[in-house]
Each structure stands twice: as structure tokens, then as C-alpha cells.
Amino acid sequence: MDAIEQLPNGLRTRFAPAPTGFLHLGHVANAIIAWGVARATGGRVVLRIEDHDRQRCRPEYETAILEDLEALGFVPDEPVLATFRTGRASGYRQSDNDELYAGAVARLGELGLVYACDCSRGTFTQWASAHGRPWAGGGCPGACAARGLSRSRRGVALRVALGDGDEEWTDEVLGGQSGPAATTGDLPIRDRLGNWTYALCVVVDDMRHGIDLVVRGEDLLAATPAQVRLGRLLGREAPPRFLHHPLIRRPDGRKLSKADCASAVRELLAEGKRAGEVRGFAAGTVGLITLI
């Protein structure tokens, strides 16, 4: 209980699924913590649909996510769930807010930090093979920042130069943390297909939605320094608090994913499992009962 008892009152957290598949038990575990923290501290839960990836996201998955959240009793404080079903644009759906992310990139561009990059994963792999180690630190193997590639060129990504040095933040489970802002190259903020990246969107959205506690899986711990640095560059004076929780894992040790249909919430409910059973199973499997 210590992790929650030490938190200040009135925190705003969020539950932010991507509609690339159905909700699974890992999502349920995350929701239990987010709603649990909010209810225990008098805070609020914001629901955000993170559909920045236009190739993988599907409207039918968004519909299913909303239905499953209702079935499990997870009701956000904002927005009202019905707002997602009106067919109108929402400030809580990433695909409806392209201009906000473009504006953030423009601000970074004014600081001289944005550049086009034509390096692919293969470029990084080839560099690692030639040098006997993965690329580390800022920049990219193709030295794209110095090449002045056109941002409108087809098939190029955009990266932001985050600079050197470490960032520090507080994790409510793991304690004080720190790490380099750039680890495997400068941060991509638009991919080669023209999608704004998760790293950009989540920082912009957490700022505009006033999120001061980020609850997410421990697999995203390594991404935190870059996001803290990016937030500062965009004007966030202090980073949010973070709570990185354990993941539900498959028997072979891999993390549970949307590809594991046996863990899909709607499949479990269709089999006759009650909402409380699904929530309890997710909490027990990931150790949340002892965590919070």
C-alpha cells in the first residue's frame, strides 16, 4: 500500500490504449492501478485513445475497447465515454489532433533541433555489424543532421536532437531514477510513413491534459529519459511522476501482447467470466495486490 499512500492528493493520471487490437489482461492490470490511484487520492482518470499509427489502428478496435472498459466497470472521469461515439472530433483521440503535434514539431524546429533522417532499421543493423556494437548516444549512423535532407522528401523520418546528459525522475515503485536522454540515436518524432510517433504524442498529450502521474508497464522504463527531456524542450518545467508496474508475462517469459487472443478481455467475458473475476485474475497474476 505504500506506493499509493505516499502520493499527494488530486493527481491526474490516464489510461491510454492504442486501438490496434482488443484489450488484454495487461491492460486490465494497468487500469486497476490507474483507477486505484485516482480513487485512493481523490484524483482523476483521463481516457485517451492513442491512434497515432494510421496503418495499425482500427475503428472497430476502438469500439471494442470502449465496450470492454464499460463491461469491466472502468469509467473515466473525462471525457464522458459517449463523446467517443458521436462521430465528431475529440481532444482525447490522437488522430483528431494532428495540428497539435505539428505545432510541437514546429516549436522544436524553431530551436534548431529537428532534422530529416533516411536511416532505416537496416542502417542501424549494418552499422552495428560493421562496428561490433549497437549505435549508442545521439545522432544516427547516416549523420543525417548534417546532410540537410528535405523534410518533405518521401520516406524520411523526423528526429529531434535531445542533446547529451542524463535526466532524473521519480518512480513511485522503483524510487529515484536517471538515464541518458539519447541512448540508441536521436528520438524519432515522425516515422517514415508520416505518422507522429508515440514518443512525441504522449509527451504533448500528457502536457495538454495536465497529467501529473503516468502509470504504465515497466517495459517503457527505458523510454522515460527521452520523454522527460522532450517535455522540457516543449516547455514542461517539471516532469510528471511515474509508476512503472510489472508486466503479465507468458509462460516463456515474453510479455503479454494483443496477439495473445486467449487473454483478450472480450474472449474471457464471452466464456462466462464475470468482470470481477477478470479484474482479480489480472491483479493476482501481475502481483498488483502486493504492489498497491
SS (H, E, C) the chain: CHHHHCCCCCCEEEECCCCCCCCEHHHHHHHHHHHHHHHHHCCEEEECECCCCCCCCCHHHHHHHHHHHHHHCCCCCECCHHHHHCCCCCCCEHHHCHHHHHHHHHHHHHCCCEEEECCCHHHHHHHHHHHCCCCCECCCCCCHHHCCCCCCCCCCEEEECCCCCEEEEEECCCEEEEEECCCECCEEEECCCCCECHHHHHHHHHHHCCCCEEEEEHHHHHHHHHHHHHHHHCCCCCCCEEEEECCCECCCCCECCCCCHHHEHHHHHHCCCCHHHHHHHHHHHHCHHHHC
**pLDDT tier at 282 (50, 70, 90 boundaries)?**
confident
Q: Can you tell me the mean pLDDT for 159-165?
A: 96
Look at residue 75 in the predicted model and tell me its pLDDT.
Answer: 96
- pLDDT tens for 62-113 read 999 999 999 999 999 999 999 999 989 999 999 999 999 999 999 999 999 9
* Nearest partner of 45 among 55, 33, 29, judged by Cα: 33
Report the Cα 186 to chain-centroid distance in Å. Answer: 18
Distance CA 147, CA 139 (A): 12
Q: What is the pLDDT of residue 289?
A: 53
Sign of CA dihedral 99, 102, 103, 104: positive
Domains of the chain: 1-96+246-292 (3.40.50.620)
Q: How many CA atoms lie within 13 A of 225 on its CB side?
A: 21
CB atoms within 10 A of CB 156: 20
Rounded to the nearest 10 degrees, the angle between the axes of helix 198-208 and helix 98-110 is 100
Beta partners for 87? Answer: none
Nearest Cα neighbor of 225 from 283, 280, 184 is 184
Asked whether the predicted pLDDT for residue 48 surpasses 50, the reply is yes
Residue 148 has pLDDT above 60, yes or no: yes
Tell whether the model's pLDDT for residue 283 goes beyond 80. Answer: yes
- Report whether 233 contacts 108 (CB < 8 A): yes
Share of the chain above pLDDT 70, in %: 91
Give the chain's mean pLDDT.
91
C-alpha cell at 271: 466464456
β-pair partners for 177: 169
| pTM above threshold 0.85 | yes
